[in-house]
Amino acid sequence: MSKANDLIIRVAGEGGEGIISTGDFIAAACARAGLEVYTFKTFPAEIKGGYAMYQVRVSSERVYNQGDTFDVFCAFNGEAYELNKHLLTPGTAFVYDYPGGDFQPDAIPEGVTAYPIPMSQASKDLGSYRSKNMVAMGALSVLFNISEETLKQVLTNKFKKKGEEILNFNLKAFEKGKELGTALQKRDTWRVADPVEPKDVIIISGNDAVGMGALLGGLEFFSAYPITPATEIAKFVATHIPKLTGTLVQAEDEIASIAQVLGASYAGRKSMTSTSGPGLSLMSELLGMASMGEIPALVVDVQRGGPSTGLPTKHEQSDLFLAIHGTHGDAPRVVLSVEDVKDCVDMTVDALNLAEQYQCPVILLSDGSLAFSTQTIPAPKPENYTLVNRKRWDGEGKYFRYAITEDLISPMSDPGTPGGEHIATGLEHGASGAPSWSSENHEVMHRKRFGKIKGLVDTYKPVEVDGEGEADVGIIAWGSTIGVVRESITRLRAEGIKVKGFYPKLMWPMPVAQYEAFAATCQKILVPEVNFQGQLSHFIRAETTIRPIPYTICGGLPFNPAMIVNKVKEVL
Amino acid sequence: MSVAALHKKEMAPKEYKSDVNVVWCPGCGHHGILNAILRSLSELGVDPTNLVNVSGIGCSSRTPYFMQSYKMHTLHGRAGPVATGVQLARPDQLVCVTGGDGDGFAIGGGHMPHMARRNVNLTYILFDNGIYGLTKGQYSPTSRRELKAYTTPYGGPDDPMNPLLYMLTYGATYVAQAFAGKPKVCADLIKGAMEHKGFSYVNIYSQCVTYNRIDTIQYYRDLMREIPADHDPSDLGAAIELARGDTEGHRPMGLLYQVQRETLDERLAAIVKQVGGHPDFDRNKIINQYRP
Amino acid sequence: MEAFGTPEGTLVDADLSFIQVEGLDLSGMNLSGANLSGGEWVDVNLDGCDLSNLHVVESRFTRVTFRRVQLDHALLQRVELAGCTLERASAGEAAFFLSVMSDTDFRHAYLVKAQFLETNLDRSDFTGADLSFAQLRESSLEQTRFISCDLRGVDFRKTNLHHAEYRHVCTENALYYGLPPWGGEAIPGRDWVRDLLVFDGE
């Protein structure tokens, strides 16, 4: 991907200064101009204020990750400068609040193009500090070729609801910024690609996309407890599910939310909850009940840094152990993991379908970097999604809830259906649901519960293999790391290195044959993941004959392509 | 769902029994409570097809097995939220929870206030025998200190809680109490609870003849005092006074409190109405909000 | 207690708990659903009464007659009925738990699916009674008489069968451990344990 086409702008400053909205405006304006956008942000852990960062990567080609570092940095305050100045390397451009801001930078390093813009001062002169971000945006727009037309459209859409006066004030600040930017001579080569024919896209965050997928997947009941970084899913569903006559409850804790989900699902409704690691830990006992009672249930886990309270606002991929095995006893479940925001929509539909089809808990893993990352994705078409409903009893003969059938999936019966009265139980049971604790029955039922999802490794969409033929290094990646690996592979190939990628989305049951087939074509297998123990590496070692090289980081941030490129060269 | 709106079915109490043998100890008060439940269902003409009975873990949580209906035998302490899910998913069905004092007030104690304050439209029948029977006799949140139980060989260090005060304080809209030795009173109160729209709570003392040898039916007979006929059940203050018990430590028997308040499912339905909800709502309208 | 003064008055669902009753003739009355718990009943005639859905816990009945009573689905727990007569009583699905019913007369009683659990039935007489699918688990049946009885499907497991008497009994599908209590060969391949529904301690 040519650099001229691919630009990363980072805006940072105090939370509440309009950092997030600045990023959102730029992202939306670029998307409106037909470009591909991938954003990445970190929120302050403080309740109010604190350091906030928003990074927009924009390109005329598809963008798979947030990139290595920024090309353009816009500092709203001294703290942002101090935290990022080590990244001001030759070739980068630096826009900052000066004079009139709260800092004067050190000597600008050689090769860095500096653009001091008196954002605070200009905003104050217009009558309020509140338009500082508009001034910044005006300057960025002229300096880096951000489409003024679409930016103004986005601003107008946003502010016209708040009244003519506020809209005009902001537009005035924007013009002032443009003026200040124009006054400075453009001395670098960074520019956003020119607008192209607009595509049929939406720009949406991972969390909102999960909510959208849920509604497209026919969700009828949702219960959750607030937790960072998953709460936006509940907010999305809360806003929209009543329009579809669905139900949302904010439960008293995660135990109650999964319990309500199981109750509603037993009663015949497509149900789900969303949470993060600590919530999933609390849910584990009831997930076992869902396995045992064969109750469809979807849990979306937006992973964050753990264990315990851990790093609540930071990215990590460390819930794989918990998702696959987190409960007592042998409790089968399906675990899916999303790569990007598009997956957040599509695979939430998949996950609801699988829960219904296999009558078992399904855990969909997202992560902290996807949760708040907004990306341009093709606008979903509701009519393109096929929805699956659970197998229901046909009313013929005597009803046995846990009857052993050919596909090991027993028909369910909704309350109110005459003759279908039955018990859903966490006790081991026979076909009718009556308790049975003989070892023979326990084994038969284990075979049923595990057996019914076994075929999924063949029926779920095949694992994507990136590349053909033999390779020196095969990279197996999961979750949002996949996007980073895609770009790393492109770069490595450009350098003549033979690499292939393998991107599983179905984490459990594990498509072992596909892993083996992939590994057979590679000299070495590298597994980069953002956790300390190398959790996917662990499962690969346990379930396959592959002996992977784990590459783990756990600094609370995702990989960037350069890291993977360097690691591949190291293990080559 | 109010019982009145349900499809009626004429069935004798024993016809509500399932073919599963009742496995409680002979002599247990739960047998009488089960009969009282069956009887109130019969008197209300409930069609078991429209009843969902949810339980957690414990002796009393086995009740669903012995009855004909839709039922769930869930996890220790979690019957309440599971039943909440069932009720919200199917407000057209009758939902009840049967469980014990440990299940409801120890491990499940965190859920109780929220069912009450949300006024979830279901009936919670709590079999209070002041003991953990299924795990062979440990003291529970309602055990008296005098009880020398499995894990309290020298008597209990904890003061027992007062379930009635708990439920009244958190906003239950129907609160009643009886003991297993008065099956007719139990049946009438359960019937009232099932007819009640909103969260109804019936506390029924039950003798455990195996592990709690001090809370006998004679003990309960002397403990209980019928609520005076002039008590106004809509008076929360008076209900709280009754729930505290009199100076000699007697406990009230009968209906302490009943008021009408919007239920959770009604309020959620009102939101759906407010936004003009429709199952065929065009999802593109939501998607379009995310166009740049 | 006023009800006792007016024999035509109804005693349906009456709460007659914790009372002492002596020398009364209540024969033929309808006491269905009544509660007779914690009482002391002496020399009372309940012949022909409707006692269906009766609830009795911890009461003692001395020389009380229950001939031809209707005891359908009644629950009697920890009740002493020693020496009483239930001749020709109809007690289908009635539950007699932890009770003392020794020397009791059950002749020609209808006891289908009745449950006698941990109950003392020593020397009682079941001549001509229909006990099909009744449960006698963990009860004591010393010198109990089963003559011309229908014992099909009766659960005799864990009962004390010492010197019980069986004559002209029909015992098809009855459940017991070891050899048939009424003599004869064990039926090969039968696994009684499997028929017993037991909950594991959750």
Nearest to B31 among C97, C197, C201 (CB): C97
Q: What does DSSP assign to residue A107?
A: P
Q: What value does the mean pLDDT take over residues A17-34?
A: 93
Q: Identify whether residues A29 and A135 lie together within a single domain.
A: yes
Residue A444: its H or E element: helix A439-454
Interchain CB contact of C197 with A (< 8 Å) = yes
Least confident of A12-21, A107-116, C52-61, C113-122: A12-21
Query: Using a CB-CB distance cutoff of 8 angstroms, which residues of chain B are in contact with residue C60?
Result: none
pLDDT of C88: 97
How far away is chain C from the Cα of B3, in angstroms, using its nearest Cα?
Answer: 23
Q: Do A249 and A379 have their domain in common?
A: yes
Chain B CB within 8 Å of residue C201 CB: yes
Give the pLDDT confidence score for residue C9 in this predicted structure: 63
Q: Which residue has the higher pLDDT, A392 or A128?
A: A392
Note the pLDDT tens digit of each residue in C47-86.
Answer: 999 999 999 999 999 999 999 999 999 999 999 998 899 9
C40 touches chain B (CB under 8 A): no
- Beta bridge pairs of residue A362: A298, A334
CB-CB neighbours of B214 under 10 Å: 15
Q: What are phi and psi of C29, to 5 degrees?
A: -85, 160
Order of all β-strands in the sheet with C20-22: C20-22, C40-42, C60-62
Q: Please tell me whether residues A224 and A110 are part of one structural domain.
A: no
Give the residue from A247, A225, A230 showing the smallest Cα distance to A238.
A247
Shared domain check, A147 and A63:
yes
pLDDT in tens, A297-313: 999 999 999 999 998 88
- The pTM score is 0.94
Whether A415 and A513 share a structural domain: no
Q: Which of A502, A491, A553, A558 is nearest to A206 (CA)?
A: A558
What's B104's DSSP letter? I
Task: Output the average pLDDT for chain A.
Answer: 94
Distance in angstroms (rounded) separating the CA atoms of residues A71 and A52:
18
Average pLDDT score over residue span B23-35: 93
Q: Where are the beta strands (DSSP E) in chain B?
A: 51-55, 70-73, 94-100, 123-128, 174-179, 200-205, 224-226, 251-258
C53 contacts in chain B (CB < 8 Å): 13, 35, 39
| Pairing, β C115-117 against β A247-250 | unpaired
Residues 66-125, chain C: which have Cβ within 8 Å of B? 72-73, 75, 77-78, 93, 95, 97-98, 117-119
Domain CATH number, residue A320: 3.40.50.970
| pLDDT tens-digit map of A498-523 | 999 999 999 999 999 999 999 999 99
CATH of C31-177, picked from 2.40.30.10, 3.30.70.940, 2.160.20.80, 3.40.50.1820, is 2.160.20.80
Q: Which amino acid is at B77?
A: G
User: Does the distance separating the beta carbons of B26 and C97 come in below 8 Å?
Assistant: yes
User: Residues A468-503: pLDDT tens digits?
Assistant: 999 999 999 999 999 999 999 999 999 999 999 999
Residue A322 has pLDDT above 70, yes or no: yes
Greater pLDDT, C6 or B153: B153
User: Going along A441-542, which residue ranges are E strands?
Assistant: 464-466, 471-476, 499-503, 506-508, 522-529
**Domain check: are A232 and A150 in the same one?**
no
**Could you give the CA distance from residue A385 to residue A393 in angstroms, rounded to a whole number?**
25
Quickly state the pLDDT bin for A4 (edges 50, 70, 90).
low
- Whole-number percent of chain B with pLDDT over 90: 85
Mean pLDDT across A411-422: 96
Residue B135 touches chain C, beta carbons under 8 Å:
yes
A334 three-state secondary structure: strand
Looking at the complex, report in whole angstroms how far the Cα of residue B272 sits from the nearest Cα belonging to chain A: 5
Q: How many domains does chain B have?
A: 1
CB-CB: which of B25, B39, B181 is closest to C57? B181
Confidence of residue C127 (pLDDT cuts 50, 70, 90): very high
Q: How far is A31 from chain B (nearest CA, A)?
A: 6
Substitution target in B93, B287, B289 with the highest count of A β-carbons within 10 Å is: B287
Which tokens go with A166?
């506020």
Q: What are phi and psi of A550, to 5 degrees?
A: -75, 145
Q: C172: closest CA among C162, C164, C184, C160?
A: C184
Rounded to whole angstroms, how far apart are CA atoms B227 and B225?
6
Q: Give me C93's structure tokens.
A: 């699905």
CA of A312, closest CA in chain C: separation in Å?
Answer: 36
Task: Please give the order of strands across the beta sheet that includes A522-529.
Answer: A464-466, A499-503, A471-476, A522-529, A549-552
Residue contacts between A and B (CB atoms, under 8 Å): 194
Alpha-carbon distance A278 to A306, whole Å?
Answer: 8
Count of C-beta atoms within a 10 Å radius of residue B203: 28
Chains that touch B (3 or more CB pairs under 8 A): A, C
Buried-exposed string B149-159: b where 16+ CB fall within 10 A, e elsewhere: beebeeebeee
Q: What is the pLDDT of residues B200-251, one digit of tens each?
A: 999 999 999 999 889 998 999 999 999 999 999 999 999 999 999 988 989 9
- Burial category of C23 from C-beta neighbours within 10 Å (exposed 0-12, middle 13-18, buried 19 and up): exposed
A335: enclosing H helix or E strand: strand A334-337
Is A423 within a domain? yes
Per residue in A336-381, pLDDT tens? 999 999 999 999 999 999 999 999 999 999 999 899 999 999 999 9
Other C-beta atoms closer than 10 Å to the C-beta of C187 total 10
Q: What is the CATH number of the domain that holds A499?
A: 3.40.50.920
Residue C6 has pLDDT above 60, yes or no: no
Does A195 map to a domain? no
pLDDT higher than 60, residue A145 = yes
Q: Which helix (H) or strand (E) holds A259?
A: helix A254-266
Residues 241 to 280 of B: which have CB under 8 A from any C CB? none
3-class secondary structure per residue, A28-70: HHHHHCCCEEEEEEECCCCCCCCEEEEEEEEECCCCCCCCCCC
Asked if C159 is an interface residue toward chain B (Cβ–Cβ < 8 A), one would say no
**Strands of A506-508's sheet in order across:** A247-250, A221-224, A271-275, A297-303, A361-367, A334-337, A506-508
Judged by CB atoms within 8 Å, which residues 257-276 of A form the interface with B? 257, 259-269, 271
State phi, psi for B245 to the nearest 5 degrees. Answer: 85, 160
DSSP β-ladder status, A297-303 and A271-275: parallel
Q: What would the two tokens of residue A460 be? A: 């779920």
Q: What average pLDDT does this structure show over B40-45?
A: 96
The pLDDT, as a whole number, for residue B45 is 96
A14-23 in b/e form (b: 16+ CB < 10 A) is bbebbbbbbb
pLDDT at B6: 80
User: pLDDT tier at C5 (50, 70, 90 boundaries)?
Assistant: very low
Residue B2's pLDDT band (cuts 50, 70, 90): low
> Residue C80 and residue C179: Cα distance in Å, rounded?
31
User: Please, what is the average pLDDT of chain B?
Assistant: 94
CATH code of the domain in which B54 resides: 3.40.50.970
Chain segment A523-546, per-residue pLDDT in tens: 999 999 999 999 999 999 999 999
Same domain (yes/no): A273, A372: yes
Report the distance separating Cα B20 and Cα A402, nearest Å: 17
- The answer for residues whose C-beta is within 8 angstroms of residue C200's C-beta and 6 or more apart is A427, A435, A437
B202 interfacial to chain C (CB closer than 8 Å): no
Average of pLDDT values for A39-65? 84
Averaged pLDDT for residues A162-182 = 93
Q: Residue A44 — pLDDT band, cuts 50, 70, 90? A: low
- Domains contained in chain A, number: 4
- Please indicate, yes or no, if residue A319 is contained in any of the structural domains: yes
Range of the domain at B21: 3-288
Mean pLDDT across B146-155 = 89
Q: What percent of chain A has pLDDT over 90?
A: 87
pLDDT at residue C193, rounded to an integer: 57
Please check whether residue C27 is in contact with residue C47, taking contact to mean a CB–CB distance below 8 angstroms: yes
Which chain B residue's Cα is nearest to A284?
B75
A24 within some domain? yes
**Cross-chain Cβ contact A435/C199 below 8 Å:** yes
HEC string for chain C: CHHHHCCCCCCCCCECCCCEEECCECCCCECCCCECCCCEEECCECCCCECCCCEEECCEEECCECCCCECCCCEEECCECCCCECCCCECCCCEEECCECCCCECCCCECCCCEEECCECCCCECCCCECCCCECCCCECCCCEEECCECCCCECCCCECCCCEEECCECCCCECCCCCCCCCCCCCCCCHHHHCCCCCCC
Burial class (CB in 10 A: 0-12, 13-18, 19+), C184: exposed
Q: Are both A396 and A470 inside the same structural domain?
A: no
Q: Which two structure tokens, joined as six digits, stand for B155?
A: 């008597």
Q: What is the ipTM of this complex?
A: 0.97
**Do A379 and A397 share a domain, yes or no?**
no
Contacts of C57 in chain B (CB under 8 A): 27, 29, 32, 180-181, 207, 217
- What is the rounded distance in angstroms from the CA atom of residue A467 to the CA atom of residue A408? 37
Task: Kindly report the CATH number assigned to the domain that includes residue A97.
Answer: 3.40.920.10
Check pLDDT > 70 for residue C195.
Answer: no
CB C109 within 8 A of CB C92: no
Both structure tokens of B58: 């414990």
Contact between chains at C58 and B218 (C-beta distance less than 8 A): yes
Say how far apart CA C49 and CA C66 lie, in whole Å. Answer: 8
What is the spatial distance between Cα B23 and Cα B65, in angstroms, rounded to a whole number? 10
Diameter over CA atoms, chain B: 75
Q: Which domain holds residue A444?
A: 391-454
Chain B: closest CA distance from residue A159 (Å): 14
Per the rule left: phi > 0, alpha: psi between -120 and 50, beta: everything else, B195 is alpha
Q: Is residue A188 part of a domain?
A: no
What is the per-residue pLDDT across B114-143, written as a single tens digit (0 to 9) for each?
A: 999 999 999 999 999 999 998 889 999 999
Q: Which of A186-195, A297-306, A383-392 has the lowest mean pLDDT?
A: A186-195
pLDDT for the residue C182: 87
What are B52's two structure tokens?
């969902």
Residues C105-119: what's their mean pLDDT? Answer: 95
Task: Check residue B121 and report its DSSP letter.
Answer: S
**Min Cα separation C90/chain B (Å):** 15
Could you tell me the pLDDT band of residue A42, with boundaries at 50, 70 and 90? Answer: confident
Q: Give me the torsion for CA of A218, A223, A227, A230, rounded to 10°.
A: 0
